[in-house]
């Protein structure tokens, strides 16, 4: 397949769909932005795509909580279709608000259903930042393991974040241990200054090692991205589509040896290469 097709799913309030489609197209894909209502009317549209991406923004104004409304729409109206898409060996990516949607829809980490019956429970969520405010800054990231398709061949990245609810919180220690052991905690925040101490000035009871603002939200175990057990479904809080060109680096006018493309571009390249 020379040019995999990407469905960039948007909803009222989504505002990163154009940049995300552009990033995929720069990487060699054919991208189409599609409103969720069109997909609800005709779920079979998914059949003509190989990649589905939920971009960043504020779907439905983040009313109730970030990603909750669109996540519920997918859970109630489209879950079976998206799972069939996933199980057919295709890729699903959620960026920032898209990560929130994937978690709250149960597509990324399937809800646990007790063997004895009773309500299903989510394995994890994204909570309010520990700082209590919206965080808009650049962060350093390191990959963990090689499971995730989108981070294949990547060791570290420098990307921007922009969110108010980005603190990854697993339901309990057992879920966290499973994600870590299975290589699903695939991207983590690291100190901006390499070699810096990772435990200074942490608040009492902190469950992460990288201090604020390098871990901008207080995510458990400094987790910035999670993938499913197959490595083909991934949600991440940083915005790779906002760093696909060298000139998007915040210090591009001061640095003489920047690479020709931004660190985030490889995420989209890897998705396209997966189908070549």
Q: What is the rounded CA–CA span in Å between residue 236 and residue 187?
A: 8
Which residue do the tokens 């409103």 mark?
35
pLDDT digits (tens, 9 = 90+) for 165-193: 999 999 999 999 999 999 999 999 999 98
Question: Catalytic: 241?
Answer: yes
Task: Say which of 130, 135, 165, 241 is annotated catalytic.
Answer: 241
- Which of 37-51, 61-75, 106-120 has the lowest average pLDDT? 106-120
Please answer whether residues 57 and 16 qualify as being in contact, where contact means their C-beta atoms are separated by less than 8 angstroms: yes
Q: What's the confidence (pLDDT) of residue 118?
A: 77
Q: What's the confidence (pLDDT) of residue 174?
A: 95
Token output for 6: 């990407």
Q: What is the rounded CA–CA span in Å between residue 219 and residue 215?
A: 7
- The band of 255, judged by pLDDT with boundaries at 50, 70 and 90, is confident
Q: What's the confidence (pLDDT) of residue 202?
A: 58
Average pLDDT for 107-123: 87
Q: Report the relative pairing of strands 30-35 and 5-10 from DSSP bridges.
A: parallel
Average pLDDT for 70-85: 97
Average pLDDT for 74-83: 97
Greater confidence (206 vs 30) lies with: 30
Task: Say which of 163, 208, 239, 243 is annotated catalytic.
Answer: 239
pLDDT digits (tens, 9 = 90+) for 220-236: 999 999 999 999 999 99
- The band of 115, judged by pLDDT with boundaries at 50, 70 and 90, is confident
Q: What's the confidence (pLDDT) of residue 204?
A: 59
CA atoms within 13 A on the CB side of 122: 19
SS (H, E, C) 57-103: ECHHHHCCCCCHHHHHHHHHHHHHHHHHHHHCCCEEEEECHHHHHHH
Q: What's the confidence (pLDDT) of residue 196?
A: 60
Q: What are the extents of the domains in the chain?
A: 5-111+122-273
DSSP designation for 261:
B
Average pLDDT for 236-260: 91
Instruction: Name residues whose C-beta falls within 8 Å of residue 87's C-beta, 6 or more positions apart in sequence.
Output: none
Question: Catalytic: 180?
Answer: no
Task: Say which of 96, 148, 186, 227 is annotated catalytic.
Answer: 96
- The band of 132, judged by pLDDT with boundaries at 50, 70 and 90, is very high
Percent of the residues in the chain that have a pLDDT greater than 70, as a whole number = 95
* CATH for the 5-111+122-273 domain, from 3.40.50.300, 3.90.740.10, 3.10.129.10, 3.40.50.880: 3.40.50.880
- Of 91, 83, 81, 87, the closest CA to residue 27 belongs to 91
Q: What is the rounded CA–CA span in Å between residue 235 and residue 101?
A: 9
Residue 55 has pLDDT above 80, yes or no: yes
- Of 80, 124, 137, the closest CA to residue 235 belongs to 124
């Amino acid at each position: 397949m020379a040019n995999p097709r990407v469905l960039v799913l948007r909803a009222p309030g989504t505002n990163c769909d154009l940049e995300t489609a552009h990033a995929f197209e720069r990487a060699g894909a054919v991208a189409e932005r599609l409103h969720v209502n069109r997909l609800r009317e005709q779920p079979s549209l998914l059949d003509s795509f190989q990649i589905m991406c939920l971009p960043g923004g504020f779907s439905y104004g983040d009313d109730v909580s970030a990603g909750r409304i669109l996540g519920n729409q997918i859970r109630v109206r489209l879950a079976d279709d998206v799972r069939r898409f996933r199980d057919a060996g295709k890729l699903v990516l959620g960026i920032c608000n898209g990560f929130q949607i994937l978690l709250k829809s149960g597509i990324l980490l399937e809800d646990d259903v007790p063997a004895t019956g009773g309500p299903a429970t989510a394995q994890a969520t994204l909570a309010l930042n520990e700082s209590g405010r919206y965080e808009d800054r650049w962060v350093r990231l390191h990959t963990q393991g090689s499971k995730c398709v989108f981070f294949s061949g990547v060791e570290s990245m420098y990307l921007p974040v922009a969110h108010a609810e980005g603190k990854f919180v697993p339901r309990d220690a057992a879920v966290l241990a499973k994600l870590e052991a299975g290589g699903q905690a695939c991207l983590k925040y690291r100190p901006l200054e390499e070699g810096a101490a990772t435990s200074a000035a942490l608040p009492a009871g902190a469950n992460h090692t990288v201090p604020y603002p390098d871990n901008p939200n207080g995510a458990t175990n400094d987790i910035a991205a999670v993938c499913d057990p197959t490595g083909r479904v991934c949600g991440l809080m940083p915005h790779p589509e906002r760093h696909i060109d060298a000139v998007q680096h915040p210090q591009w006018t001061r640095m003489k040896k920047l690479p020709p493309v931004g660190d985030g571009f490889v995420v989209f390249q890897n998705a396209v290469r997966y189908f070549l």
